[in-house]
Structure 1
Amino acid sequence: MEKRILGRTNLEISAIGFGGIPIQKVDKETAIELIKKAKEEGINFIDTAKIYGRSEELIGYGVEETGRENWILATKSPERDYDAMKKDIERSLELMKTDYIDLYQLHNVRTDDQYDKVMSEDGALKALKEAQKQGKIKHIGITSHDLGIIERALDDDIFSTIQFPYNPVETQASEIFDRAHKMDVGVIVMKPVAGGAIRNVDLSLRFILENSNISVVIPGMNEVKHIESNAAIGNNYKPLTDEERDIILGEAKELGTEFCRRCGYCAPCPQGIDIPVQFIVEGYYTRYDLKDWAKERYATFEHKANECVECGICETRCPYDLPIRKMLKRVHKNLG
């Protein structure tokens, strides 16, 4: 397996990591089998999160079975204040059956207000730093779908890693990744097949790994065949041929007509709808076969897609000219 250094953490990790979203769909025995297989294939990096259902728990069973020393574990919490983050750290340690977590990340910081909150005197970062001093976590990272937030994080230069979407459809983070690499900040790529929209998975993963600024890519896996095919990319990496590049970029072009890149330029919605998040959750429904989970998440939203009054302001801001009003109707039809 090709290994890369995760920035200033100096951790040597597999270029292909284990994305923990879909494992929540399997039972304990299958989860253990999957983690065992990942180890056999040379994968040593696992990324999960509090909000991924039973993912932390199921991964914990697999890690316990295969040996903690074989894994670099990353998880994340969406909490923004000190007390809530402190509780989540303890919860993650317990569920993942470990005394320490290699990388604990602030999960999906979406707005400047949220960023200011986590950085405040009683913010989540304080809890993470405290746990780091206690040896409960080794390194601190941040994830977002907003380039502006990642830019602020790099400006502050306190995070060991950043995590952001990147694939043949979504390459807007290329310059940010270059900056992060020069700052010795690890780069973790999520959404490597655009939430399941990209059909040519192997070509997409190879496209991503061509970028030397990227430390690891974390495709979601809940079947042995997924682990075998994804790990094979890292175990026998080959750059794309010109013909293969044309194929994957052609597919990316096709997806471009009604595909949300989550750039956030459509915001703010006058009705308070978080438009990109509506499409993210719909992707779990349509592409990851997490229908019940997606509907449950959608039900928690304060403002849902059906609250759109079709003012069209969002569409005037979208750099990709997406028919957002029509797409929001589809979201509510699927999830409402």
Structure 2
Amino acid sequence: MEKRKLGRTNLDVSVIGFGGIPIQRVGKELSHELLQEAYNRGINFIDTARGYNESESLIGEALEKIGRDKFILATKSMKRDYNGMTEELNTSLKSLKTSHIDLFQFHNIRTLEELDFIMSENGAFKALEEAKEKEIIKEIGITSHSPEILDKAIDTGKFSTIQCPYNPVERQAEELFKKAKDMNIGVIVMKPLAGGAITKGELSLRFIVDNPNISVVIPGMDTLDQVKSNTEVGINIRKLTEEEGSILSEEANSLGTEFCRRCGYCLPCPQKIDIPTQFLMEGYYTRYNLKEWAQSRYDAMEYRAIHCIECGLCETRCPYNLPIRKMMKNVVEKLG
């Protein structure tokens, strides 16, 4: 497996990492088998999160058997305040059955105001800085669907890594990745298959790893066949042929006008609906086979697609001219 430097962390990470979202649905025995096979085939980087239900716990139990030292371990939290982040970090350490976490990330920073708050006196960054001083965590990272927010974040000089969606459909972060590489900041790619919308998985992964500014890509895996096919991309790196590139471009183009890139420009909604998250949950429900997980999170939202009054303001803001009102109706049909 090809290894790349994770920016200034100086950690050598496998170019294919293990995305921890789908492991929550497979149970203890298969979780162990998946991570053991991943290790056997050269993966040394795991990404999970507090919000992925049992993911941290299943990974922690598997690492007890395989060996904690075999992997570079990354997790993340949605907490924005000092006390909340301190509590989440302690929970992660317990769930992952470890004394330290290699990379702890701020999960899904969605606005510049959120970024400002986490960096404030009572913000969560202070909690992670203190944990880093105690060597409880080694590095601090940040994830977002917005290249603009990540661009501002790396300008602070406080983050060792960034994590952002990137695939043949979502290429808006390419300039950001180049800037991050020049600043010696590690680049982690999530959503390599665009939330499951891209069916040509091998081609998409090959497209991603061909970008020299990327450190590691983290496809989610819940079968041994997926582990084998995904790791093969990092073991035998091959450029796309002209024909393969055309096939991939054709599929990317076929997603066309009704594919949400989660840029957030449609917000704020007058009805307080988090519009991109509606489409994200619908994607998890229909494409990731995480029906129960997506449904529970959708149901827990106070303002959902069902509350859309079809005012159309969001459509005037969308840089991709998406038919958001029509797409919201589709969410209602799937999730209620």
Give the TM-score category using the shorter length.
Answer: over 0.9
Q: How much does 1:296 deviate?
A: 0.7
Kindly indicate whether the alpha-carbon contact (under 8 Å) linking 1:48 and 1:55 is maintained by their aligned counterparts in 2. Answer: yes
State the one-letter code of the partner of 2:212: S
Alignment of 1:230-245 (within 5 A): 230-245=230-245
SS of aligned partner of 2:192: coil
Distance 1:60 1:165 in 2: 26
1:326 corresponding residue in structure 2: 326
State the one-letter code of the partner of 1:91: T
Q: How much does 1:319 deviate?
A: 1.7
1:183 corresponding residue in structure 2: 183
Distance 2:301 2:154 in 1: 30
Alignment of 1:85-104 (within 5 A): 85-104=85-104
Query: Percent identity between the aligned chains?
Result: 60
1:72 corresponding residue in structure 2: 72
SS of aligned partner of 2:195: helix
Distance 1:179 1:195 in 2: 25
Farther off after superposition, 262-271 or 22-31? 262-271
2:130 corresponding residue in structure 1: 130
Distance 1:57 1:91 in 2: 10
TM-score by length of 1: 0.99
Runs of at least 4 residues of structure 1 off by over 2 A? none
Q: How much does 1:148 deviate?
A: 2.0
State the one-letter code of the partner of 1:109: I
Q: Deviations over 1:83-114 (max 9, x none)?
A: 11001111111111111100000000111221
1:214 corresponding residue in structure 2: 214
State the one-letter code of the partner of 2:283: G
2:196 corresponding residue in structure 1: 196
Q: Deviations over 1:21-54 (max 9, x none)?
A: 0000011111111110100110000000000010
Q: Deviations over 1:160-196 (max 9, x none)?
A: 0000000000000000000000000000000000000
SS of aligned partner of 1:245: helix
1:277 corresponding residue in structure 2: 277
Distance 1:267 1:90 in 2: 33
Matched, 1:146 2:126: no
TM-score by length of 2: 0.99
**Structure 2 gap ranges (5+):** none
Kindly indicate whether the alpha-carbon contact (under 8 Å) linking 1:13 and 1:72 is maintained by their aligned counterparts in 2. Answer: yes
Farther off after superposition, 88-97 or 191-200? 88-97
Farther off after superposition, 69-78 or 302-311? 302-311
Distance 1:114 1:332 in 2: 29
2:249 corresponding residue in structure 1: 249
Alignment of 1:299-310 (within 5 A): 299-310=299-310
Alignment of 1:6-17 (within 5 A): 6-17=6-17
